[in-house]
């Protein structure tokens, strides 16, 4: 079984903890309790393979931003979350994305990463359109999905998308190793 260290990043109050708790425990927490750091584990099956997800739910507040580099350094897949009801949380995503790329010293193409627009159940309060996010994500080369922790919309799908990206990365590494071994034999 492969372990995947998945890090959930984003500003405060975007629903990172609600997303994670909905996914791991199938519960919705509607009160805001600022997170410092919470770790969750869940075994899942994707494409016939079993994975142990180690999900790091991180702080979104300024006070704990210094710890973000450590989470990123230890992470393998990244869920970048904003609230569709807050333009500022969307605008801050680029800084978060750039920080991940800087700390990991890799390109977007090599890192399993997903942009998540959360709180889609609050359509009447929407400040960031899906089309705008799709345009930005296409420019960045990062997939995008909208979710609602409250209604459980696309929660499993979001985590599984990241696992599939990680699965492709692991598969590519195995192929490179096999080619290397074949070349050494020849």
pLDDT at 1: 78
Contacts (Cβ under 8 Å, ≥6 apart) of 113? 77, 78, 79, 80, 97, 100, 142, 143, 162, 165
pLDDT at 184: 53
Q: Among 92, 3, 14, which Cα is nearest to 39's? A: 3
Task: Compute CA 77 distance to the chain's CA centroid, rounded to the nearest angstrom.
Answer: 6
Domain range for 63: 2-185
pLDDT at 68: 81
Angle (CA) 5 155 27, round 5°: 95
Angle (CA) 144 7 27, round 5°: 80
pLDDT at 40: 94
pLDDT at 138: 97
| Number of separate domains in the chain | 1
Q: By the 8 A CB rule, do 19 and 155 touch?
A: yes
pLDDT at 26: 96
What number of other Cβ atoms are within 10 A of residue 125's Cβ?
Answer: 11
Question: What are the tokens at 23?
Answer: 């996914």
Grouping H, G, I as helix, E, B as strand and the rest as coil, residue 152 is: coil
Residues constituting the chain: 186
**Ramachandran region, residue 56 (left: φ > 0; alpha: ψ -120 to 50; beta: rest):** beta
Q: By the 8 A CB rule, do 104 and 138 touch?
A: no
Judging by DSSP bridges, how do beta strands 2-10 and 49-58 pair with one another?
Answer: parallel
* Ranges of the chain whose pLDDT falls below 70: 31-37, 60-66, 172-186
pLDDT at 169: 81
What's the CATH code of the domain at 68? 3.40.50.300
């Amino acid at each position: 079984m492969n372990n995947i260290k998945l890090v959930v990043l984003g500003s405060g109050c975007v629903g990172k903890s609600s997303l994670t708790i909905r996914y791991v425990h199938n519960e919705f927490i509607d009160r805001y309790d600022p997170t410092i750091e919470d770790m969750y584990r869940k075994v899942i099956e994707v494409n016939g393979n079993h994975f142990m997800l180690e999900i790091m739910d991180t702080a979104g507040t300024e006070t704990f931003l210094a710890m973000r580099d450590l989470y990123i350094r230890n992470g393998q897949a990244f869920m970048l979350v904003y609230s569709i009801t807050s333009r500022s949380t969307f605008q801050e995503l680029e800084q978060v994305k750039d920080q991940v790329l800087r700390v990991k010293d890799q390109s977007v193409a090599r890192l399993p990463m997903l942009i998540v627009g959360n709180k889609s159940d609050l359509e009447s309060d929407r400040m960031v359109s899906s089309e705008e996010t799709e345009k930005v994500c296409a420019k960045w080369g990062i997939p995008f999905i909208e979710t609602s922790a409250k209604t459980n919309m696309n929660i499993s799908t979001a985590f599984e998308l990241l696992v599939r990206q990680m699965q492709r990365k692991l598969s590519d590494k195995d192929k490179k190793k096999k080619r290397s071994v074949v070349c050494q034999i020849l």
